[in-house]
Amino acid sequence: MSHLDDVLAYLDAHRTEARERLFQWLKIESISTDPAYKSECVKAAEWLKAELASLGVSAEVAPTDGHPVVLGSIEGRAKKHALFYGHYDVQPVDPLNLWESQPFDPQLVTLDDGRHVICARGAADDKGQVMTFVEACRAWKAVTGSLPIGVTFMIEGEEEDGSKHLPDFLKSHRDRLRADVALVCDTSMWDQATPQITTGLRGMVYEEVTIKAAIRDLHSGLYGGGAQNPIRVLTKILGDLHDAEGRVTLHGFYEGVPETPKQVLDQWASLGLTSESFLKPIGLSEPAGEKGRMLIEMVQSRPACDVNGIVGGYTGIGAKTVIAAEASAKVSFRLVGDQDPTKIRDAFHAHVRARLPKDCTVDFISHKGSPAITLPFDMPDLVAAKSALHDEWGVDAVTLGSGGSIPIVGDFKKILGLDTLLIGFGLDDDRIHSPNEKYDVRSFEKGARSWARVLAAFSE
């Protein structure tokens, strides 16, 4: 691989232009869950299509019943072919008042510890991560005129909305998505010094629940004590989701949840993911999950339930004596092992209905569910990628599950027959989904170098 050093040198020499390209993309307000930003999503897709064209990839903005997918292929010197997946859509930005700069006006900021970071919505999730791969390809193309292996790019616009149209897209584009392996850059490093290949992902069930009682809001003085209060009903339902041991109370919830083998637990214990390292930076000190479990289990190999949002009644300034006509919550479950999303959803609905008094009705909105994923530890591509990452970072990559959910990885296996390598350069303090999301400049630059090495390793 005589060219690799030249490619890495090219990346180092052109890092400013690379960052400027990313900033352009970050300025596009591609929030997928809010229909008001539909045209911005299209704009973000078109921007990427043009970028890929500049690498010689004949890409198109392919329509779906939702936001479009950017799809394009390029052959490589070796026969091997990878499907690279990422997403151009971003999370909503509220609460806007907590941002230190405008979410779509990317800023280069120096943190107190000296790190340079890019602050913007989507900086880490996922535009910055996608561009590490694109810049690696650009460098190979610039230095050698071609890529070491063939690549199909599939960058979607609905990841933050449950990738709801992507499974159909995979089915209808099966032929054009043929590859030997799928690559996903939407995960985190183990820490600032240590890369990670994510070999497992929790699944997810996400439900919205609305409880309704009276046909209108009521005065709590005149009706209080006599009329059903939907907030009272909803808080009872949600308050009952966990028992005193921190376990989720849904019927059958722990069916299919495997116990992690002792030797794996011992290995995890040595990784030093502790309250001090993981919780203290966010102002917490005590793990909140199931009693008797290690923190690393709670967030990676155990299922969890969180209420992600709740609203009902009067939420303005001051006091208002009202009994609301309805109250709503958004509830998500993270799944592991063989937990069945459909059964979990049904159990949640049953949990709600069992606590629903007469005169109350319930409406559910069910978002797409996904089972958990575990990848084989002995994949040759995994071994090659580990070696490439070691060359870049000087330490072994950690191979570990992740607490997050990327449902598409299951669909890659099921629909396309592909295993997926999840390699990302995010950090735990990237504040993805939160105000002041950032991506370290070092993640961006060494991420691109890492992909340049992985592409080389795959061609050997």
Residues in region 146-165 near a copy of itself by CB under 8 A: 160-162
Identify which range of 17-25, 41-49, 220-228, 411-419 contacts a copy of itself by CB under 8 A. Answer: 220-228
Q: Give whichever of 118 and 454 is closer to a copy of itself, judged by the CB atom.
A: 118
Could you tell me the smallest distance in angstroms from the CB atom of residue 31 to a copy of itself? 9
* Shortest Cβ 64–a copy of itself spacing (Å): 16
Q: How many residues bind a copy of itself (CB under 8 A)?
A: 101
- 234 forms part of the interface with a copy of itself (CB under 8 A): yes
Q: Which is nearer to a copy of itself, 177 or 211 (CB)?
A: 211
- In which residue are the tokens 């629909």 written? 415
* Nearer CB in complex with a copy of itself: 176/291: 291
Contacts to a copy of itself from residues 38-97, by CB under 8 A? 91-92, 94
Among 145, 292, 318, 394, binds a copy of itself (CB under 8 A): 318
Alpha carbon distances (Å) from 122 to 104, 186, 216: 9, 11, 40
Query: Would you count residue 257 as binding a copy of itself (CB under 8 A)?
Result: no
Q: Which is nearer to a copy of itself, 55 or 238 (CB)?
A: 238
Contacts for 310 with CB less than 8 Å, ≥ 6 apart: 234, 238, 327, 328, 329, 330
Residue with tokens 């295993």: 419
Residue 459 near residue 2, CB atoms below 8 Å: no
Which residue from 313, 346, 356, 364 is in contact with a copy of itself, where contact means CB under 8 A?
Answer: 313
Q: Which of residues 191-210 bind a copy of itself (CB under 8 A)?
A: 202, 204, 206, 208
Q: Can you read off the two tokens belonging to residue 41?
A: 């999503």
Tell me the two tokens of residue 377: 């530890």
Structure tokens given for 26: 């970050």
Q: Does 458 bind a copy of itself (CB under 8 A)?
A: no
User: What is the distance between the alpha carbons of residues 366 and 114, in angstroms, rounded to a whole number?
Assistant: 44
Q: Rule CB under 8 A: say whether 349 interacts with a copy of itself.
A: no
Nearest to 416 by CA among 81, 44, 77: 81
Q: E-assigned strands of 63-212? A: 69-74, 81-87, 107-110, 116-119, 150-156, 181-184, 196-201, 203-212
> Of the listed pieces 14-22, 51-59, 190-198, 280-288, which binds a copy of itself according to CB under 8 A?
280-288
Q: Is 352 in the site for a copy of itself (CB under 8 A)?
A: no
The correct pick among 44, 136, 295, 372 for binding a copy of itself (CB under 8 A) is 295
The reply to whether 455 sits near a copy of itself by the rule CB under 8 A is no
Residue 310 within binding range of a copy of itself, rule CB under 8 A: yes
**Which of 314, 383, 395, 414 is close enough to bind a copy of itself by CB under 8 A?**
314
| Residue 289 token pair | 């999950």
Q: How far is the CB of 17 from a copy of itself (least distance, A)?
A: 31
Is 231 an interacting residue with respect to a copy of itself (CB under 8 A)?
A: yes
Residues 6 or more apart whose CB falls under 8 angstroms from that of 370 comprise 203, 204, 335, 341, 405, 407, 410
> Are the C-beta atoms of 90 and 127 separated by less than 8 Å?
yes
Task: Tell which residue, 393, 458, 444, 460, has the closest CA to residue 18.
Answer: 444
Q: What is the DSSP letter of 63?
A: -
Alpha-carbon distance of 121 to 129, in angstroms, equals: 13
Q: Tally the residues of the chain.
A: 460
Nearest to 438 by CA among 124, 97, 94: 124
Rounded to an integer, what distance in angstroms lies between the CA atom of residue 374 and that of residue 201?
7
Region 387-446 residues binding a copy of itself, contact defined as CB under 8 A: 402-405, 428, 431-436
Q: Which of 219, 251, 353, 414 binds a copy of itself (CB under 8 A)?
A: 219
Least separation in angstroms between residue 405's CB and a copy of itself is: 6
Closer to a copy of itself by Cβ: residue 193 or 317: 317
- The one among 123, 183, 323, 441 contacting a copy of itself by CB under 8 A: 323
Q: How far apart are CA 85 and CA 108, in angstroms?
A: 26
CB of residue 232 to a copy of itself, shortest distance in Å? 6
Which residue in 114, 145, 261, 283 binds a copy of itself (CB under 8 A)? 283
Please say whether the dihedral angle defined by the alpha carbons of residues 125, 163, 352 and 251, taken in this order, is positive or negative. negative
